[in-house]
């Protein structure tokens, strides 16, 4: 994969450039990191969608979409995500590279101008507020997204499991706030919040694809903005007890999420990702082969490592009458790994799956950005090639030792009950 170059434009603003002429497109993204707090989560979450479809220059959807069409079908997208104990808001513009522009336009400059218009010149009404109609529409969409997440029981179970694991902490909050908070949003407070974000966020900017960005343009536009927030994974806290919640809903299939905290240094994060993969991250894993295939206790059963919170989640879909057996069988597989029950073939299979994933990072601009953003967040960034080198060197003994540093922390059960109607 081509190298990503990093330039610190200020204490709060960093520009990352990934130039690769293999791509026929280019992308510029502005990622804004802020502490995730209950008091601000909802009003920050509504903002990317609210500012991204109209500006003062393009004051309605028709004129804004016409401008995207003029830019050879460019797109502008948004994303809200939780990374550790932080909320990350992203605005991205993507379009064709200069060599495919019929009129010889500087497409990167034009895309960036549109993105700057969204960031720094959003549409406001005569009272200096975001327009009422646009605000209400985005509020409805955020509520509909919450309804969708509630109806997707895999997503819902994971969110509730995080909430249980990090009870009373920022890492346990939803990056979109609660339904009640979204419903009670105030237009004036939301308008003021956009200036808060520009003043208080840490900015990670990406210029990706077949492009060479004008560094000075970014330095000028972001001058005086942001704060130098220090990000990084959550500190390890050894669980004092295993927290449990059983929630009942009328479902044909129950869901089980078992969470573990892991004690490791940042330079060991690849080892712990590999350990989770050996346990339940690939088709040859212990959970898949034993709990799902041999014992037939789960419809699905997988383990995943969240490096930003030093937490592993083992999640499964289970017949209600098998919940206790499934939980014990899953725990038994981790105990077996901790006792050294791991073959060279099992380890190699997990390594190769992770290696294939690492080698595909450079095939997509979105993957390049997502991978590097995670690395930058950790404070100890590595390239995919560096991660792969570490990955392939780990031994059976090292994985077994790492497995011994997982501590059971919480169990969330979404218990299926009688269906009506």
Residue 280 domain flag: yes
Query: Do 327 and 196 belong to one domain?
Result: no
Query: Do 134 and 269 belong to one domain?
Result: no
Residue 191 domain flag: yes
Q: Is the pTM of this model over 0.85?
A: yes
Rounded CA-CA distance 87/201 in Å is: 10
**pLDDT tier, 116 (very low <50, low <70, confident <90, very high otherwise):** very high
Residue 421 domain flag: no
Residue 373 domain flag: yes
420 pLDDT higher than 60: no
**Domain of 176: which CATH number?**
3.30.830.10
**Number of domains into which the chain is organized:** 2
- Upper half-sphere CA count for residue 396 (Cβ side, 13 Å): 12
Query: Do 10 and 145 belong to one domain?
Result: yes
**What would the two tokens of residue 153 be?**
């029981």
Tell me how many degrees the CA angle 114-95-213 measures, rounded to the nearest 5: 70
Rounded CA-CA distance 352/358 in Å is: 10
Query: Do 279 and 323 belong to one domain?
Result: yes
Residue that terminates a domain, selected from 186, 221, 256: 221
Could you list the residue range(s) of the whole structural domain that residue 327 is in? Answer: 243-416
Positive or negative CA dihedral for 262, 265, 269, 275? negative
Residue that terminates a domain, selected from 221, 254, 286: 221
Q: pLDDT of 216-241, one tens digit each?
A: 999 999 999 999 998 888 989 999 99
Q: pLDDT of 41-85, one tens digit each?
A: 999 999 999 999 999 999 999 999 999 999 999 999 999 999 999
Say which residue, 289 or 1, is predicted with more confidence: 289
At residue 419, the pLDDT reads: 64
Average pLDDT of span 86-115: 96
Yes or no: say if 291 and 334 are a contact pair by the CB < 8 Å rule.
Answer: no
Q: What is the dihedral of CA 90, 95, 98, 101, to 10 degrees?
A: -150
Residue 235 domain flag: no
Residue 282 domain flag: yes
Residue 344 domain flag: yes
**pLDDT tier, 379 (very low <50, low <70, confident <90, very high otherwise):** confident
212 pLDDT higher than 80: yes
Residue that terminates a domain, selected from 169, 189, 221: 221
Percentage of the chain exceeding pLDDT 70: 99
Query: Do 372 and 298 belong to one domain?
Result: yes
């Amino acid at each position: 994969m081509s190298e990503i170059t990093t330039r610190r434009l200020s204490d709060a603003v960093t520009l990352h450039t990934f130039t690769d002429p293999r791509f026929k497109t280019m992308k510029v993204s502005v990622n804004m990191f802020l502490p995730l707090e209950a008091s601000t989560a909802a009003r920050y979450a509504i903002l990317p969608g609210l500012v991204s479809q109209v500006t003062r220059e393009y004051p309605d959807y028709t004129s804004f979409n016409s401008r995207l069409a003029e830019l050879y079908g460019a797109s502008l997208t948004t994303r809200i995500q939780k990374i550790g104990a932080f909320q990350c808001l992203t605005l991205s513009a993507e379009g064709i590279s200069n060599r495919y522009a019929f009129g010889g336009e500087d497409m990167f400059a034009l895309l960036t101008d549109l993105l700057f218009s969204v960031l720094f010149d959003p549409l406001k009404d005569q009272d200096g507020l975001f327009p009422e109609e646009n605000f209400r529409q985005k509020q409805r969409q955020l509520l509909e997204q919450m309804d969708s997440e509630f109806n997707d029981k895999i997503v819902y179970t994971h969110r509730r499991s995080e909430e249980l694991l990090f009870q009373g902490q920022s890492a346990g909050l939803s990056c979109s706030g609660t339904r009640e908070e979204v419903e009670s949003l105030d237009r004036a407070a939301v308008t003021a919040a956009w200036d808060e974000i520009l003043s208080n966020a840490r900015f990670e900017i990406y210029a990706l694809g077949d492009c060479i960005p004008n560094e000075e343009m970014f330095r000028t536009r972001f001058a005086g903005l942001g704060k130098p927030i220090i990000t990084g994974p959550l500190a390890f806290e050894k669980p004092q007890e295993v927290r449990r919640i059983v929630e009942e809903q009328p479902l044909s299939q129950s869901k089980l999420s078992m969470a573990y905290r892991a004690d490791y240094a940042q330079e060991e994060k690849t080892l712990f990702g590999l350990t989770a993969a050996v346990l339940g991250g690939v088709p040859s894993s212990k959970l898949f082969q034993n709990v799902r295939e041999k014992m037939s206790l789960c419809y699905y059963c997988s383990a995943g490592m969240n490096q930003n919170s030093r937490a592993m989640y083992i999640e499964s879909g289970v017949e209600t009458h098998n919940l206790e057996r499934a939980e014990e069988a899953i725990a038994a597989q981790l105990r077996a790994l901790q006792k050294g029950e791991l073959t060279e073939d099992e380890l190699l299979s997990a390594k190769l799956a992770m290696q294939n994933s690492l080698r595909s990072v450079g095939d997509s601009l979105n993957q390049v950005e997502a991978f590097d953003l995670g690395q930058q967040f950790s404070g100890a960034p590595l390239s995919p090639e560096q991660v792969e080198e570490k990955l392939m060197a780990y031994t059976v003994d090292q994985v077994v030792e790492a497995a011994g540093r997982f501590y059971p922390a919480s169990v969330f059960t979404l218990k299926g009950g009688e269906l009506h109607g």
